[in-house]
Amino acid sequence: MWRSVFLHEFIDHRISNFQALPGSATPASLTLAASDDAVPGVNAIRVQPGTGFEYVLATPLAQVIGVSCRVRLLYPINPVPRVFPLIQLGGGAQLLLSPATHPLPDLSGTVSKAQVRIGTTSKDLGIIVLPAQAFTDFRFDWHTSGQARILANGRLVAYTNGVVPGAAFAVDRVVFGMPTLPPAPQPSFHISRVFVRTLERSDSLGQVAGLLPAVGMPPDHQRCRPRAVANMQAMVDQMRQFMAQIHAVLSRPWSEGTGPAIGPFKPEAVKAHDLAMAAGAAFVDMLKTRDFSTPEQFLDPFTEFMRLLRDALPQEFAAFAIKMDIPIVPDDCRTTFEAVLQDNAEAFKPIITLLSEASERIRQIAGGN
């Protein structure tokens, strides 16, 4: 489950009027003032080298594997003559903009080069074009599957794959603007909204666990549950690693400024995404309603999704299927879990039946069926 970390909409001239996880803004950040001098009626802060906003979390977020940052940005007509960071999450993720080496005169707006930095690794996302003299809803996403993308006003304008797949990092602060750069007489830009979300490594398991039936657990559960969760987390990590390989096969680095016009995704990638979304939505709906009377609503798109993955990487899929077949529950804890399942058979039987059928279909697909 994605977690909201920071939201500032500059709804008035009070710079401290924002929502965030517990923490505090730096004293220098609180000296900033929002005004509507860029576009009448739109409160924003004017950012230039040496100025910006920094919010420090009281408790850093650990093992972050996904970030989604939205910035409403008014970019200058002429590109800034140097690299500058637009937004930064701790030392883990940073989005930078810089002047394009080879401007594209046939495109209207401000032409810039976008770059993402995860840890110490930097990667170009490509050339992007932002409307001049107008606020743009700018969105930057990265996931540990290796995908990074930029959207402008809801339209994909840059994408790349293979950006440090498998990475995880801590986030102790949110920084936007250029507070760490030395003051200089450079062109400025305006920011009127910032929204940051993160995904931690354990969040996806926590979301599913919260939908399972609540049952009483024996004392031995305290010893066994963490080990089962660790095994399940390792399985999810294996799945993410495999999906990073899939993304590398079914997509390619791309930006709106450099093309090609057909975009970054192969038709199989689009179809796989739609099937995964359909299967996931059906599974969550079944857990919420406890209605498992139509398992094909989940199994049919799930099966077709798995076949697409097998067709994209046959040998890798076979290895992936073997890893997915490893038992979650440790042998010395099996009696504990079996007792719980037996006592709550009515609640858990349809879930186990559904997942067992899904596992069997993975084995069959890996075997060539």
DSSP string, 159-221: EES-SSTT--EEEEEEEEE-TTSPP-S---EEEEEEEEEEEETTHHHHHHHTTSPP----TTH
- Residue 326's contacts (CB-CB under 8 Å, 6 or more residues apart) are 231, 235
CA distance 217 to 221: 6
Q: Is 239 helix (H, G, I), strand (E, B) or coil?
A: helix
Please, are residues 126 and 113 in contact by the beta-carbon 8 Å criterion? yes
Q: ω before 260 within 30° of 0 (cis)?
A: yes
This prediction has a pTM of 0.85
Q: What is the pLDDT of residue 134?
A: 83
Residue 114's DSSP bridge partners are 97, 126
Q: How do the domains of the chain map onto residue ranges?
A: 3-200, 203-366
Q: Is 362 helix (H, G, I), strand (E, B) or coil?
A: helix
Instruction: Work out whether the CA dihedral 300, 304, 309, 313 comes out positive or negative.
Output: positive
- CATH code: domain 3-200 is 2.60.120.200
b/e per residue 182-191 (b: at least 16 CB within 10 A): eeeebebbbb
Q: What is the pLDDT of residue 340?
A: 67
pLDDT in 10s for each residue of the chain, 369 residues: 799 999 999 999 899 999 999 999 999 999 999 999 888 889 999 988 888 999 999 999 999 999 999 999 987 755 556 778 889 999 899 999 887 766 555 556 677 888 999 999 999 998 887 776 789 999 999 999 999 999 999 999 999 999 999 999 999 999 998 887 777 766 678 999 999 999 998 776 666 666 665 656 555 566 676 777 777 778 888 888 999 999 999 999 999 877 788 899 999 999 999 999 999 999 989 988 989 999 999 999 999 999 999 999 999 999 988 888 777 767 777 776 667 667 666 777 888 888 889 989 999 999 887
Please give the structure tokens belonging to residue 4: 């909201």
